[in-house]
Structure 1
Amino acid sequence: MPVLHVDDLHVSFGRGGDRVAAVRGIGFELADGECLAIVGESGSGKSVTARALLGLTGPGSTVAARSLRLGDIDLDRLSAREWRSVRGAEIALILQDALISLDPLRPVVAEVGDTLRAHRLARSAADRARRVDELLRSVGIDDPELRRTMRPHQLSGGQRQRVLIASALAGRPKVIIADEPTTALDATVQARILKLLAALRDDGTALLLVSHDLS
C-alpha cells in the first residue's frame, strides 16, 4: 500500500470567469523509502500541488481529487482542526527560501520547537531544547547549543536550509515534501542538502522532491 496516493488532483483559484486552473489531473503514488520528483518550469503548478497535499492552498482555492490519501487518512475530508494534527506529524513541507520562511525575530529553538510543542513531543522547554539540539546535529549543524540561540540572519544559507529540514523532521513524519530545497544555495551546499535528503530516504522516509532543475 503506498504511503501517499494522489489520483486526478485538480486545484483552481477564483470563481466564475476569473477562475484559474493551476493543477489539472495530476496523479502519482509514493511508497516508504521512495523518492519521487515533480519537475517542471516555473508556474507549472509544482508548488501548488505540494501545498494541496498539506491543505495549504489558501483562501479562494478549490481542491478536488478522485483520491487524495496519506496511508489510511483521506486528506480531502479533513477539517482545519484535523489538519493541524496531520501536518508535521504525518506529512511535512520544506520550503524553498529559508530566509523568508523563517521568522527573522525568533531564534532557531523556537522555530524548530514549534512542531514539538504542537504535537506534544516534548514536555518542557528544557526537553524541547535538548530535542532541537539533536535535530540540528542530525542535519549536520555544528555546535547546536549555540546555533539554536541564533536568529536566521546570523546563519549561512546552508545552515538556514538545514534548520528548515530539522523543523520538518521534528514530528517524525512519514512523508517529507521538499519544494526547491536547494534554491539560492551554492553548488557545494546543494550537494550536502541533497545528500542529507537521500539519507532520510534511505532511512525509510518517503520523499517528494519538487524542482525546476532536471539535473
Structure 2
Amino acid sequence: MDSAALLDLLGNENRRRILRLLSQKPCYVTEISDYLGVSPKAVIDHLRKLEKAGLVESRTDEKRRKYFHIARHLRLEVNVSPYGFASKSAYPTSSGLDMSSSCRHLSINVTCQDDADVCELAGELRKLEELENELSLAQRRVQGRIGEIHERISDTIGDPENSRLYAAVLSAIDSGAADLETIAEEARVPEPVAEDALSILADHGVVRRADDGWALDPA
C-alpha cells in the first residue's frame, strides 16, 4: 500500500491505539475491545483495515482463538521538516548486507549468531538499542545542519521562499548534472523553473556556465 494511504489509515486514533497495544503483545479481539472501550464489531473493522494494509497479521492458537500482531517486517518512516516531507514503507534488510560501500560514514559491528545463547542475545540487543539511539541522534543532527544550509542559501540569495529550489538545483549540479534537462530532472522541477533558478544563482556568483554546461562557482 502507498505510504500516503497508510498515513490516512493511521489518522484514526483507535487504530493507532490498537497498534500501540499490539507493539506490547499479540492480542485477541476481546482484549483490544476492553482496552479501547469500544465494541468488538468496531475492533474487527479496524483490524480488517489494518490487516488489509499489511500493518497487522493474525494467527490462531490451539483453542481456535485468533490473535493479532504487528506485521513482522514492517517499518513506516515519516520525515517532516520545513524543507521537505516524505513518507515511506521500509523493511529490515538482511543482517549480512555490507553497508560500508553505500554508507561510508556508518559502521555496524554487531553481528547476529544463530547459535548464540540468551545472554549473548541480550548483550546484542542492548548494543543494537544503543546504536538505534545513536542513529536517531545523528539523524536529528543532520536535519539541523540541513536547516542551517537552507538558511545560508536563503541569506545569500535573499529569497527565503525558494531556498528549497535553489538547494535542489545546487545539489543536482554538485552530483554531476550539467545540462538544463538533467538539472531540472534531478531537482524535480520544470525546465523553465530550473532555468530561472540558475540565472539567479549565476547573478549571485554561485554557479557559472561552463563549456559542458552549468558548474558550481566556488569563487
- For normalisation by structure 2, the TM-score amounts to 0.26
Higher Rg: 2
Q: Greater share of helix residues, 1 or 2?
A: 2
Q: Greater share of strand residues, 1 or 2?
A: 1
- For normalisation by structure 1, the TM-score amounts to 0.26
